[in-house]
Amino acid sequence: MIAEGEMVVSRYTFRGTHQGETQEFGPPTGRQFELEGISMHRFEDGKIVEDWECYDNLSVLQQLGLVPEEQ
């Protein structure tokens, strides 16, 4: 996490097992996955006024076997 002025940037890694149904990933596959991403927030008066997210959904879909891996 880096904070400077009104901006805060966080890099994160989520790891888990797909056990529940979601709209985005469908029925549970039971497969493990890892998701990496970056969040950026701009604050004014102690509140988030702008928010940007960047993460790799394609990689998660590939790890869950929902789309083919690149060859």
Are 8 and 2 contacting, i.e. CB atoms less than 8 angstroms apart? yes
Question: For every one of its 71 residues, what pLDDT tens digit does the chain have, with 9 covering 90 and above?
Answer: 999 999 999 999 999 999 999 888 889 999 999 999 999 999 999 999 999 999 999 999 999 999 888 76
Residues 6+ apart with CB under 8 A from 40: 7, 8, 9, 10, 51, 52, 53
Domain boundaries, the chain: 2-63
Regarding the domain delimited by 2-63, which CATH topology (the fold level of the hierarchy) does it fall under? Nuclear Transport Factor 2; Chain: A, (3.10.450)
